[in-house]
Structures are given as C-alpha cells and as structure tokens.
Amino acid sequence: MDVRTIVASYLEYHGFDGLCHPDTECGCGLSDLIGPCEGAQSDCRPSYRIPLRNGETFFTADFDHRPTEAEIRDYWKKLEERNG
C-alpha cells in the first residue's frame, strides 16, 4: 500500500472529497490525489467538492462538515463578491 492509497482511504472513510491547499485554493479529488501539484503539500487539508454554477467544481477546506445546499449558495455568493 502506498501513501496515496492510505490518504485517499482516510479521506473517503471520513466523507471528504479530496485535498485543498487553504491559501492557494488548489484542490484535488480522490481520483487524482497528489497529482496536480506534483505532490501533496504539507499544509493541504481535507476538503469538500463544491459544484459551481458554470458546471465546474471547486475544492474548499472552509467547511468542517459537508455543506448543505443553502451553504453552497452562500458560498457561491461569497466567491462572486470576492472575484467581482
């Protein structure tokens, strides 16, 4: 068993969708774990996948639980205000 499998198993068991770097908002899902950024960063956090209005997805460590639909709508609003 390798590190990727151990980490993915832990995240899946605890209901997370992947990892996310809290400062850069770079995220990866369980299927591409530790891939996009050439290796997990030491400060990546368990994260949830947030569907965006344009059909894409976004990983965030901003929630300590799986966000509800209302929380996702509020999160969209926050992202739109931040991005202008």
Interval 23-40: pLDDT, tens: 877 888 888 876 656 555
Reported as a single tens digit per residue, the pLDDT across 58-75 is 888 888 899 998 998 898
Give the pairing type, strands 27-29 and 18-20. Answer: antiparallel
Sorted by sequence, the CB contacts under 8 Å of residue 58 that are 6+ apart come out as 25, 27, 49, 50, 51, 52, 79
pTM confidence score: 0.77
Give the pairing type, strands 45-51 and 57-60. Answer: antiparallel
- 82: confidence class by pLDDT, cuts 50, 70, 90: confident
CB-side neighbour CA atoms (13 Å) of 55: 0
Residue predicted with more confidence, 52 or 9: 9
Q: Which two tokens stand for residue 9?
A: 């198993």
pLDDT of residue 39: 57
| Rounded mean pLDDT, 30-59 | 79
